Amino acid sequence: MQPIVALGCGLVGEYVIHRLADEGHQVVAVDIRIPESLAHHSEVISIESDAQEYVASLKDKSIVINMLPGRIGHRIREHLVRGGHSIVDLAFTEEDPQTLDALAKEHKATMIWDIGIAPGLSNMLLAQAQREFGHLDDVSIHVGGNPTQPDEEWSYMAPFSPSDVIEEYTRPARIVRDGEIVTVPALTERHCIEVEGTDGMDAFLTDGLRSVLSTINATNMAEYTVRWPQHIDRWLSEGKDTPEEELLAAWTFDRNRSEFTWMKVRCQAKNEVRQWTIVDYGHEGDGSMARTTGLVTYALASLFATKGPEYCGLGHGIYSPELVNEATLEYVLDVFQKHGVNVIYSK
């Protein structure tokens, strides 16, 4: 079996590589710095290199996972597409990879992008509701990865690139209201939401809908990020004036601190409701966001490697997560169950 090329070995990337290697896939891990846990794994070939230079050296078409920070990950996409690779893309960026669709078809490349938990699994769940109901009246996604207890500082640790978190807080949010796509400031529509195991957390609009703005038929649709009230209060009062370097240091992920990821996807059509709640508290040193995000990425990379993109209903071109078939969603949910991530489905 051809090795899977994994670009980026951050918290999520390291987790994904371990899952693939433990399953028996040989993985080529590429990053400027390779974590110690990967450097000695028998199924992992570790290459400390600039990712773009490594991609340029690839001679054969490969399965490539792009798990680089957004700004870097976007720069490499066109090179991956021109190489005709099959790409699972987790680099969260403002830029829309769909603009590369014609180029991907020309070079016989396949890319599925935004393939994490939200966006990613959330998109697949919306597509499932639309398969059942057709038009949806109201759609809401609430999602966040946070420490289990607040503190006197930021009450937050960044489980993925802190720079991407900052962009999430500052980029205007696109939502659907009365059937129309509208743009509103990020962090608006702030409200308290009940989250199991807490006395309530704060939710606010962020620009997480992305591709579903045009692929899901809904009257009203919005995505909200969930944080401790202390965190968002501090961001609103001083966050924009705090140097990015200070925020990166303050939000460093602490593997020894308990944390959890929580997501609720709710879809209503007339009087019918479909709701999924995903909860994870991490496991054996693996963080919850690395698990919930990484398991979706791992699942698609595994399917690409063993059954090909066509099993997921994908040909050549650029695809967003909601365009995979129902069998792919079922596989992802099975992977969650196998790894102990709690998924609660209700009508």
Are residues 148 and 282 located together in one domain of the fold? yes
* CA-based nearest residue to 319, from 110, 158, 162, 99: 110
Q: Is residue 326 part of a domain?
A: yes
Residue 154 belongs to a domain: yes
Kindly tell me the number of DSSP H helices and DSSP E strands found in the chain: 12, 16
| Whether residues 155 and 279 fall in one domain | yes
Q: Domain of 249: which CATH number? A: 3.30.360.10
How do the residues of the chain divide into helix, strand and coil, expressed in percent and rounded to 5? 40, 30, 35
What was the pLDDT predicted at 127?
98
Structure confidence at residue 181 as a pLDDT band (50, 70, 90):
very high
The Cα 37–Cα 262 span in angstroms is 27
Judgement on whether residues 199 and 299 belong to the same structural domain of the protein: no
Percent pLDDT > 90 in the chain is 85
Q: What is the pLDDT of residue 244?
A: 87
**Does the structure show a pLDDT above 90 at 1?**
no
Q: What is the value of pTM for the model shown?
A: 0.95
pLDDT of residue 264: 98
Tell me, yes or no, whether 347 lies in a domain: no
Instruction: Give the CA distances from residue 28 to residues 21, 88, 91, 117, in Å, rounded to whole numbers and listed in that order.
Output: 10, 15, 18, 24
With respect to residue 276, please indicate whether it lies within any of the assigned structural domains. Answer: yes
What per-residue confidence (pLDDT) applies to 70? 80
pLDDT tens per residue across span 88-119? 999 988 889 999 999 999 999 999 999 999 99
pLDDT in tens, 64-91: 999 998 888 899 999 999 999 999 999 9
* Separation CA 275–CA 216 (nearest Å): 16
Average pLDDT of every residue of the chain = 94
Per-residue burial over 246-277, b if 16 or more Cβ lie within 10 Å, else e, is: ebeeebebeeeeebbbbbbbbbbbeeeebbbb
Type and span of the H or E element at 127: helix 121-133
Q: How far is CA 114 from CA 14, 107, 134, 275, in A?
A: 18, 21, 23, 21
Q: Which two tokens stand for residue 167?
A: 């962009």
Task: Return the pLDDT at 122.
Answer: 98
Given a contact cutoff of 8 angstroms between Cβ atoms, the answer to whether 65 and 6 are in contact is yes
**Residue 250, SS3 per DSSP:** helix
Q: Do both 143 and 277 map to the same domain? A: yes
Number of domains in the chain: 2
Q: Are residues 177 and 90 in the same domain?
A: no
The verdict on residue 55 lying in a domain is yes
The pLDDT value given to residue 40: 85
pLDDT digits (tens, 9 = 90+) for 218-233: 999 999 999 999 999 9
CATH number of the domain within which 309 lies? 3.40.50.720
Residue 61 to residue 83: CA distance in whole angstroms: 7
Separation between Cα atoms, residue 108 and residue 7, nearest integer Å = 21
The answer to whether residue 248 scores a pLDDT higher than 90 is no
Give the per-residue pLDDT at 133.
97
Predicted pLDDT at 93: 82
Query: d(Cα 64, Cα 80) in Å, to the nearest integer?
Result: 8
- Per DSSP (E only), the strands in the chain are 4-7, 27-31, 44-48, 63-66, 86-89, 110-112, 136-147, 173-177, 180-184, 191-193, 201-205, 218-227, 259-269, 272-280, 317-319, 342-346
Q: Kindly report which listed range (14-28, 112-126, 240-254, 311-325) carries the lowest average pLDDT score.
A: 240-254
Range of the structural domain that residue 57 is part of: 4-117+293-341
204 and 316: one domain?
no
Residue 274 CA to residue 250 CA, distance in Å, equals 38
Q: What is the 3-state secondary structure (H, E, C) of 257-294?
A: CCEEEEEEEEEEECCEEEEEEEEECCECCECHHHHHHH
On the question of pLDDT at 162 being above 90, the answer is no
| 346 found inside a domain | no
CB count within 10 Å of CB 345 equals 10
Burial class (CB in 10 A: 0-12, 13-18, 19+), 103: middle
Q: Is 284 left (phi over 0), alpha (psi -120 to 50) or beta?
A: left
Query: How far apart are the C-alpha atoms of 7 and 67, rounded to whole Å?
Result: 6
pLDDT tens readout for residues 257-287: 999 999 999 999 999 999 999 999 999 989 9
pLDDT over threshold 80, residue 136: yes
Q: Indicate whether 130 and 278 sit together in one domain.
A: yes
DSSP symbol at 333: H
Q: Assign 32 to helix, strand or coil.
A: coil
**What's the mean pLDDT in 300-308?**
97
CB-CB neighbours of 183 under 10 Å:
11
Residue 134 and residue 228 share a domain: yes
Q: Which residue has the higher pLDDT, 249 or 298?
A: 298
Higher pLDDT, 1 or 45: 45
CB 285 within 8 A of CB 257: no
Asked if residue 80 and residue 63 are part of one domain, the reply reads yes
Answer yes or no: do 281 and 135 share one domain. yes
- Does residue 110 share a domain with residue 141? no
Q: Which of 259, 286, 313 is the last residue of a domain?
A: 286
Same domain, 32 and 109: yes
Question: What is the pLDDT, as a whole number, of residue 163?
Answer: 78
320: how many CB neighbours lie within 10 A of its CB? 24
Q: Is residue 310, in this structure, part of any structural domain at all?
A: yes
| Average confidence (pLDDT) over 191-209 | 95
